[in-house]
Amino acid sequence: MLALLLKDLYTLKAQMKVFLFILIIFALAFQAEAGAFAVFYATLLPVTSLAYDEQSKWPQLALMLPYSIKDIVLSKYLLGWFLSFVVSMLYGLVSLLIDGGDYFLVVIFMSLALCFLALTLPLVFWLGTEKGRLLLVAVLAGIFGMIGATGYISVLYGMQEVPFGSVPAFSGVCLLGTLLFNVLSIFLSIFLYKRRLLRG
């Protein structure tokens, strides 16, 4: 599993440089939304990894190696979780240094991004990245809509009570819901990917 994760990170090395460039430009233009953009973009990089895999015929090669379909699918989720966590922590650290930080928004951004990942990966495993390009456009449109929504949440935050009585409780509920959603997504991805491979 670690080898698959490292393979994806090496594959995305060039993409990471592009990501940093886009992030700098975006941060200069839209400072308030830069953190949300970074978290969403990083979390969806596993989809880019899948596109590279298909172009290089990696899925066919992987089946001849001692990796199960479960390993291949889970490695993409692990990649998304890892990138989401790292970028979210960096965003939280920068936010802490600039304005005292707001971990509630960090949790919200990360939860929403991981939910998008859980929605996107089963469909990409099922349809493939080529057929899923229109889907990804729709997902990206949703991302920017969610960025606007989280901006609205940040305005409301402090003006009214947080659901479940407190910020820590609500953050915990968000993380738990995200975890359960991702677990269901993993099982669905494994099922759909098996069907796709059997279909040829």
Check residue 5 and give its pLDDT.
Answer: 82
Check residue 98 and give its pLDDT.
Answer: 67
pLDDT above 90: residue 166: no
Strand partners, 160: 157
Check residue 79 and give its pLDDT.
Answer: 92
pLDDT above 50: residue 177: yes
Instruction: Report the alpha-carbon distance of residue 106 to residue 172 in Å, rounded.
Output: 12
Check residue 199 and give its pLDDT.
Answer: 74
33 closest CA partner among 196, 127, 147: 147
Mean pLDDT calculated for residue range 104-129: 85
Question: Do 5 and 82 touch, CB atoms closer than 8 A?
Answer: yes
Residues 6 or more apart in contact with residue 95 via CB below 8 angstroms: 35, 101, 102, 105, 106
Place of tokens 């005292």: 100
Check residue 159 and give its pLDDT.
Answer: 42
Q: Which residue has the higher pLDDT, 158 or 75?
A: 75
Q: How confident is the model at residue 92 (pLDDT cuts 50, 70, 90)?
A: confident
Q: Phi and psi for 191 in degrees, rounded to 5?
A: -65, -45
Mean pLDDT calculated for residue range 17-41: 66
Check residue 180 and give its pLDDT.
Answer: 95
